[in-house]
Amino acid sequence: MPEPLVYQITNAVSAQLQADCVALLGGSSIMTRALQEAEESAAACDALLINTGTPPENALELYRSAARAASAHNAPMVLDAVGCGFSKYRSAVIRTLLEEFRFSVIKGNEAEIGALCGAKTAPRGVSCGGAVENAAALAAACAEKYRCAAYCTGKYDHLSDGRRNFRVGGGSPLLHATSGTGCALGSATALFCAYMPPLDASHRALSLFRRASETAARAEGPYSFRVKFLDALAKLGRAEKRAR
């Protein structure tokens, strides 16, 4: 297929990193947050990512407009529930979206997925703030509740579609110490959803990020790690593409 176009309504803090990851993995991005062109952009995309990391004032209206158009054109949709459980406003926006639309993938850290499933967990800002008990069960419960693939990230990543469950480990602790990589993971998932089933797309993104972080693990610190990680991600992505 031609280069997939991913519409990312996303975290302004990490937008550049997300665009870089999509480009390095063979896709292209559009990142408009203008309500006036959300419907048109979503209708033209091959996948939609909604990341709630820095919601604008018209967040729900913007997200709804894009999700309606993407749904109408059968484009897969990924919801990165950043900060779910941190504030009442953000949590309400996320739950409203999940009531009105069926997403292909829901992702978050352990606390965010726990908040979605009634585990009374709450992130510290956009960070988990510590391990959450029964993370694998929370991912499975989220997948079953919302009829999608769901995964939560942490020391181990737990992925489920309500029937099949996976745990992904390995990599480097620097992956979680580098701001924006979690959001970039959501963008990579959306890209892969453009041409793979949601569970397979999620597993590929999780595994690829872990492997790239392991390759980059000898970096001197988080910022040099970021460069080495992106180089490794591009190399591994090209190798996988040739192998398919």
**Strand-pair partners of 77:** 48
107 is in an annotated binding site: yes
Q: Is residue 160 very low, low, confident or very high in pLDDT (cuts 50, 70, 90)?
A: very high
Average pLDDT over residues 137-157: 95
Dump pLDDT digits (tens) for 190-231.
999 999 999 999 999 999 999 999 999 988 888 899 999 999
Q: Note whether 91 and 82 are within 8 A (CB).
A: no
Q: Quote the pLDDT of residue 222.
A: 80
CATH number, domain of 153, equals 3.40.1190.20
Q: Quote the pLDDT of residue 243.
A: 57
Of residues 238, 239, 177, 242, the one with CA closest to residue 23: 238
What is the count of structural domains for the chain? 1
Q: Quote the pLDDT of residue 218.
A: 87
Average pLDDT over residues 17-36: 96
Residue ranges making up the domain that contains 141: 5-243
Q: Quote the pLDDT of residue 177.
A: 81
180 is in an annotated binding site: yes
145 is in an annotated binding site: no
Dump pLDDT digits (tens) for 78-135.
999 999 988 899 999 999 999 999 999 999 999 899 889 877 665 655 555 555 678 9
Of residues 87, 28, 98, the one with CA closest to residue 63: 98
31 is in an annotated binding site: yes
Judged against a pLDDT cut of 70, whether residue 242 lies above it is answered with no
Dump pLDDT digits (tens) for 68-79.
999 999 999 999
Q: DSSP string spanning the chain?
A: -PPPEEEEE--GGGHHHHHHHHHHTT-EEE----HHHHHHHHHH-SEEEEE-SS--TTHHHHHHHHHHHHHHTT--EEEE-TTTTT-HHHHHHHHHHHHH---SEEEEEHHHHHHHTT-----BTTB--S--TTHHHHHHHHHHHHTSEEEEESSSEEEESSS-EEEE--S-THHHHSTTHHHHHHHHHHHHHTTS-HHHHHHHHHHHHHHHHHHTTTSSSHHHHHHHHHHHHHHHHHHHHHH-
